[in-house]
Structures are given as C-alpha cells and as structure tokens.
Structure 1
Amino acid sequence: MEMLISLSILEYESELSSNIDKLEDTEAFAKIVSLVRTGKLNSIHIDVMRPPMIPGESRFPIGLIKKLYEKLHGKIALTIHLMVDDPLNIINEINKFIVDENRANTMIILQVESFSSEDEAVKSIETVKKYGYKVGVSLNLTTPKKRLADKIVSSADLILLMTVPMGSGRQKFHEAAMRRIKYFSTRFPNKIIMVDGGINPETIIKVWRAGAKAAVVGSYITTSGKPEEALLSLEGSLRMHVNS
C-alpha cells in the first residue's frame, strides 16, 4: 500500500516570491527542506498560475521556479503544474535552466483546458515528452470529463483530477469528484490517477479507495503548526483504514 504525496507549496509562494535571491533565509524554504527530509514526499508541487486561465492570479514567476530548481534538484523531484493558456511558452522558459539530464525527474502537468482540440493537446504532450520531461494531463473539476479523451490520456504519463475548482488553496474537497476518480481509474487502470484539492487524513482514504494512487497535498500540511506531523498523519491514516 502506497500513496504518492506531492507537496503543494502554494501557501508559501508569497514569501518565496518576495525573497527569490535569499530563499534559504526564509521560514517557508526551511519548512520545505524539513518536509523533504522526512523522506515521505514523492515531489514538490509548483502551481504555476497566470491570467486569464486563473483570473487575477499570477503565481510562481519563472525566476522563482528557477531558484527552487537550483536549490532542490537532486534532493527531490519537481512537479510543475501549468494552469496557463500558453503552457509551451512557459516550458520554453523552463528549458533554459532545467538541463536535459534532469528533465526525466521533472513532471510537467498540462491543463486540458489550455487546448482548443484533442489533437492540439496530444501534439503538445508529445512535444513536452520529446524535451525529456514526464507529462501529466489535468482536468478541472468544472470541466466535463469527456474533454479528457482517450487519445489524450493514452499519450500522458499521469492523470491529475482536480477535486476542487483550480485556482486557490484551502478549499474543501468536493464529493462530486469521487465519480470522476472511479471512472478514470476503472477506464485507465494502468495510469496513475493523482488528485488535487482538499486532501486530509479523511479524504485521502476516500480517494485511495476510489482508485487514486497519488495526491497533491497543500494547506493541510503547510498551514499546520507542525507540518511534519501533519504529513506523517496522512500515512498513518492510510495504514489504519485502507485495509480495514
């Protein structure tokens, strides 16, 4: 029994962005390092947001992504979730500092809503794969599941299902997402199903039983007074309940 955990650091973005040139002096970065050292995280999840896809929100500038990569690569994998209308432009910027040999340890997640057609989505996924990255494809909670067509899923390494509307943290898990998790995990049993939004010790059990094998966890850990204990409580909850 294993559930891969990707730590969303969205809650820390403001502090990190304000201190790009002195990340290691920030409390936020110290917390990230401490959580990485537990050995319980599969990756650090960077939620890149730009309007108009996320109105009024611009999170994780390229300079911050570069600095996080420089400080963390070799210590833990990065997952870069692009909630943007022009993902290939952002990726071209990322290509300037993530060297070829380190790209296999980096996951790029593309929103299906970034593309106007199934063929455009597949072509973009294939392009990013050729750069050397692992590629996931994400479906927003409010987008009909038919947008994530079989051809798109087949070309990706991972499916990310939003379990809250994308664009902000600290949201409550939406029960409506359960049907999607069951649908995609049954239809694509060989794909890793990742979920994102409202994950805590109770909801992580639900999504695991529905077929998810990976979870993005943010505010449950990052707003806790004891982040490491919060992280460990997720594993403890799974161990206690999944096989019961």
Structure 2
Amino acid sequence: CKLPIDLHIITKTPEKYFDLLRKYPVEYLTFQYEELPAGFKMPSDIKGQKGLAIITPTDVAAFDTFSDFDFILIMATIPGQSGGVFDPVNFKKIRKFKQKHPNKNVHVDGGVNGEVSFILRNMGVHTSVSGSFLFKAASVGQALMDLTKREIVSLFKIKDFMIPREECPVIDFSQLSLKNILEQITFGKLGVTLVENNKKFEGIISNADLRRTLLQNLDNIEGMNTQKMINKTPVTILDTATVDDMLNLVREQSFPVMYLPVLNEEGNAVGIVTFVNL
C-alpha cells in the first residue's frame, strides 16, 4: 500500500510497541503527551516522522523536551470524541508554537470543518485531520472540497485568530528612523509594521513601501523623509468581522492584499491578519 500511515498511540506503556514499530514502520508516528511516563525517550532506530500530541489544556511548552521530534499534534477537541467543536484558544497555541519552533510542523485534529480549515491554512498549519465533518456530510466529495476551497462562510471572528498587537511589529510616529523601520520589519518577521502616533493607528509600512521609498531616494538617503513610507490608507478590517466579511473585503480590492491591519471600534490597531500562507 502506497498510502502513508499516520499512527496515533495513546498509552502509558509505549515501550511495548517499539518492536512492532521497528518491524512495521509507519510514515507518521504520534504519542499522546499526557499519557507518557516521565523520562520517555523515543528509540532512534524507529523510522518515520515523530510527533507529540497534546490536548487543549496542555501548554505547547511540553514540546520543549521533545525537540528532536518533527511535529506537534494539537488536539483541538476531546480525543476520541467525534463531532466536537474546535476550541478557538488553539489558534493562540498554534502561533505560540510556531514562534518557539519555526522549523517544526503543526498538525491539528478535532473540529476541523471548512471554516476552521481555511483559518488553519492561513496560519501555516501543515496538516489538518478531519473525520466527522467528512463522513457526516451528505456528500463526502463535497465536504472534502469545502476543506480546500478559499470561499468560506464563517462564524469565527477576526479577533479569534489574528496576530494580536502585542505580537506584531509596531513603531511610533516619533521613532521613524530608517534603522528602526528596518529593524521592525526584519525582526517582526511579518514583512510589515504597524505605525502609531501615541498609540493611535496611523498606517503601515510594508517591505514594498520601504523598497519604493528607497528607490525614489537613492541619491539622497540621508535626507529621505521616512514618513513618506507610510501607507496611511491601507485596507483594514474590524476585529468583530467574520472570515466571510474578510474574504468579501479582499475580493473588492483591485490589488492583492497581503496584510490586513485589524482595528477595534475606536480605530486603534489590535492586530494583523496576513495571507502569506495561502
């Protein structure tokens, strides 16, 4: 059989499976963290990608002692409970894990329907597991298409999965030196920085805005007015909007939208949504 096997083992005695795993290797092997005995070590001669599964209450810091593993599996509902609802707190856990382990993959299992699948893809999740959504649908084929299409009707709010302001690069209007702008865009790792004036949203500066202004001032870099880098009228969205609202907004634009600053009702920036993973 050429189909890859994804094996999830929940046991307090993992060692009793080691010989079987050596004899019958699988492509993906995951052990449930909460059941593992203290000091658990995976034998190095067992083949396949290794994963650590955690339930929603468990912090992603559990992965720190399994840094030789290839991925984390976040159980977004109660393991073994079919048809559960995805817990939005896992969006934050995904961001936290990707910040700590940028070279490791994220797998998600539980409550994955069309809308959740879209959000997870947007967040850079490598693999999503969907069961009851597919097999309880009138048409498995149509449900499978719903997991991969980009047109999604969602009840989730933008604030549920946006990158919150405290995790975003932000620069104050009074600190708009070229060095500060370069540092915020580079170390923020989003390709964009929010610009504020006394915490009031002023606009954004993206990689493209930076390059354009530099090209226009190659002969006078020292005299360049960095305020001209600011896009003061970017497309923005409210934190209370839904994914459906967001997609409709993006479709209305005549240019590709890579970043969406997220504002609250007072007009202050509360986060960013990026589309670099779609």
Cα deviation for residue 110 of structure 1 reads: 0.7
Q: What is the alpha-carbon distance in structure 2 between the residues aligned to residue 91 and residue 219 of structure 1?
A: 30
Which residue number corresponds to residue 214 of structure 1? 127
What TM-score results when the alignment is normalised by the length of structure 2? 0.51
Percent of paired sites with the same residue: 22
Matched, 1:83 2:4: no
Matched, 1:130 2:49: no
Q: 1:195 to 1:209 in 2, by over 3 A?
A: same
CA root-mean-square deviation: 2.4
Matched residue count: 157
Which residue number corresponds to residue 113 of structure 1? 34
Q: Deviations over 1:156-205 (max 9, x none)?
A: 01111111122211100001111101100121111110111100110112
Q: Structure 2 matches for 1:126-205, cutoff 5 A?
A: 127=43, 129-148=44-63, 150-152=64-66, 154-205=67-118
Q: What is the alpha-carbon distance in structure 2 between the residues aligned to residue 238 and residue 81 of structure 1?
A: 31
Q: What is the alpha-carbon distance in structure 2 between the residues aligned to residue 87 and residue 222 of structure 1?
A: 31
Q: Deviations over 1:23-63 (max 9, x none)?
A: xxxxxxxxxxxxxxxxxxxxxxxxxxxxxxxxxxxxxxxxx
Q: 1:212 to 1:163 in 2, by over 3 A?
A: same
What TM-score results when the alignment is normalised by the length of structure 1? 0.58
Contact 1:113 1:139 in 2 (8 A): yes
The one-letter code sitting in structure 1 at the alignment partner of 2:122 is R
- Larger helix share, 1 or 2: 1
The one-letter code sitting in structure 2 at the alignment partner of 1:220 is F
Q: What is the alpha-carbon distance in structure 1 between the residues aligned to residue 14 and residue 62 of structure 2?
A: 18
Q: Structure 2 matches for 1:52-67, cutoff 5 A?
A: none
Q: What is the alpha-carbon distance in structure 2 between the residues aligned to residue 225 and residue 91 of structure 1?
A: 40
Contact 1:87 1:114 in 2 (8 A): no
Q: What is the alpha-carbon distance in structure 1 between the residues aligned to residue 96 and residue 86 of structure 2?
A: 18
Q: Deviations over 1:101-135 (max 9, x none)?
A: xx3x5211011113233xx23x22xx1x4122221
Which residue number corresponds to residue 205 of structure 2? none
Higher RCO by CA contacts (8 Å cutoff, separation 6 or greater): 1
Q: 1:90 to 1:185 in 2, by over 3 A?
A: same
Contact 1:195 1:212 in 2 (8 A): yes
Cα deviation for residue 92 of structure 1 reads: 3.2
Rg larger in structure: 2
- The unaligned stretches of length 5 or more in structure 1 are 1-72
Contact 2:14 2:36 in 1 (8 A): no
